[in-house]
Amino acid sequence: MALNNNKTTRALLGTGALALAGLVTLPAQAADAERIIRDRCLSCHTETGEAATPFSRISEQRKTPEGWMMTISRMQQQRGLVISPEEKRTLVKYLADNQGLAPSETAGLRYLLEKEPNVVESFDQLLQETCVRCHSGARIALQRRTEDEWKHLIHFHMGQFPTAELHAGARDRAWFDIALTNVAPKLAKDYPFNSDAWNSWQKVT
């Protein structure tokens, strides 16, 4: 079961024994991860100067460890990111520990993480018509973003997949306008970057 907390991600990524032995400290891990971001990611992303969201786009999202692994792998495959397996493991752990999801935020959605077959999904009609026609609903619901970041994601889709508006289920509507005007605010409300659940879970862990 892929719950996101410090203990789980340590076990998942193989760093728990070192951390418990005192050979790897959390401040050292954070410093290493931030160095990796600066060394590997800032050719595309930028430092914002904001304490709460120091790195553009990266700091405006929360995901499960699996979600962060998928993102970094996509950067390798599509953007030429060069990163070692050790650096990748360090970065995923840091991001999942600091920008992850509370267990309550993954409730009812872990079938995707656990690769449970033959799950019949049911999501809001607006999301069904704009997002779930291509993605599983759980993939969307296992992310948390600011409203601006949800809008960035929509713009990314149009840049990466310029025929998105021509796909079946999109040709009969102004897909981009609906996604930007209606869907992004809804996603920001239903799956917000800031949440009481995550703040409370951070205090526990």
Alpha carbon distance 103, 105 (integer Å): 5
For tokens 């969201």, name the residue: 53
Predicted pLDDT at 28: 66
The per-residue pLDDT for 31 is 86
Tens-place pLDDT, residues 170-197: 788 888 999 999 999 999 999 999 999 9
For the chain, 205 residues long, give each residue's pLDDT as a single digit of tens: 344 444 444 334 333 333 333 344 456 678 899 999 999 999 999 999 999 899 999 999 999 999 999 999 999 999 999 999 999 999 999 999 999 999 999 999 999 999 999 999 999 999 998 899 889 999 999 999 999 999 999 999 999 888 888 876 778 888 899 999 999 999 999 999 999 999 999 998 6
Per-residue pLDDT, 12 = 40
CA 48 from centre of chain: 19
| pTM, entire model | 0.82
Our CA angle for 163, 167, 168, nearest 5°, is 170
**Cβ proximity of 59 and 36 under 8 Å:** no
Query: What CA–CA distance (Å, rounded) separates 120 from 142?
Result: 17
d(CA 92, CA 72): 8
